[in-house]
Structure 1
Amino acid sequence: MIGNAGGGKSRLSAAICAKHDLPNISIDHLQWQPGWVPTPSDQFAAAHHAALAQSRWLIDGYGPWASVVERLNASDTIIFVDFPLWRHYWWATKRQIKSVFVGRPDGPEGCPMLPITFKLYKMMWHVHQKSRPRLLNELQKHAQTSRIIHIRSPKELNAFKRNPV
């Protein structure tokens, strides 16, 4: 499961994992320690490789580009949540505001959302401008070997969430 922040990936991941009894692995949980301290790269790589070594998994998120390529190479199904950038910003903003009142239960432990809002927006711009084109190119390479589900609208997201096949 991959896509820009604020696209509903975590909720969709939870629905898929519940239906198919899959371990739900969040890149954010592997990548960040409390206080938004980056996990050392060797520890991240070890945790990422351990996740990929499982017989079945769903990994949600981007992370370092090398880890994206590793996941794509190991995936039989790739779900790309790909909305217009404005929608990602809108949904991420709603999530950031909501986190002030209720936290973010699916976020990394000890990592409050509000203080990183402007870093998040900057990262979202980078993902859309730089990582998304690279990802689209990479997905073309996997079109013959992996099932690719490209979700482009909230309607498609909700339909897939109701019936994740």
Structure 2
Amino acid sequence: MKIAIIGYSGAGKSTLSEKLSNYYSISKLHMDTLQFQSGWQDSDREWMLTEMKNFLTKHESWVVDGNYSWCYYEERMQEADQIIFLNFSPWTCLFRAFKRYLTYRGQVRESMAAGCPERFDWEFIRWILWDGRSKSTKERYKWVQETYPKKVIVLRSQKEIDHFLENLVHNKKNQRA
């Protein structure tokens, strides 16, 4: 099983990735752990491309969360058995990111690079509400949905994520019965 999780910042990609990795017992990669170095410095792109290629090559099954359109994006979408697009509203993403900040303030989440403590500043708020929702980003999400309609699952709320996860467990129980 290969799963690509894409979507807007604050939607819950890393949390869902963690749950699916545990459920299927497959390797996971949070792309933010590659994108950033200590102090929120951007990684060298060549290094990140090499690390991503190594991960995809090394693992037969995986879940990768993150967008980064320049980093084997089309290859990830093509290879994935399932593409989950978390298409939450900007305000929902902002609320979720703020809740995450309150939970992890001053700490480094497991899904983030070492030396990058949780933050919530105007730059990030602007990214969540506007900059991260550019026309090209929206077109890329549309392209994925049109190119891979049979393997894209669009989830628009926490309720839909919960329902999706419940169905996994329910279907697994039915397979054993």
Classify the TM-score, shorter chain: 0.7 to 0.9
SS at match of 1:105: coil
Q: Counterparts of 1:15-164 in structure 2 under 5 Å?
A: 15-53=19-57, 54-100=59-105, 103-114=108-119, 117-124=121-128, 125-130=130-135, 131-144=137-150, 147-164=151-168
1:55-96 per-residue CA deviation (whole Å, 9 max, x = no partner) reads 111101112445322311221210111111110111111112
Unaligned runs of 5+ in 1: none
The structure that has the greater radius of gyration is 2
Alignment partners' CA distance in 1, 2:122 and 2:51: 28
Alignment partners' CA distance in 1, 2:107 and 2:114: 14
SS at match of 2:54: helix
Aligned residues: 162
Alignment partners' CA distance in 1, 2:74 and 2:87: 18
C-alpha RMSD of matched pairs (Å): 2.0
Percent identity over the alignment is 27
SS at match of 2:72: helix
Unaligned runs of 5+ in 2: 172-177
Q: 2:28 touches 2:62 (CA, 8 Å); kept in 1? A: yes
Greater RCO, CA 8 A, separation 6+: 1
- One-letter code of the match for 1:143? P
Alignment partners' CA distance in 2, 1:94 and 1:148: 28
Q: 1:96 touches 1:117 (CA, 8 Å); kept in 2? A: no
- Aligned-pair distance for 1:163? 4.2
Alignment partners' CA distance in 2, 1:141 and 1:97: 38
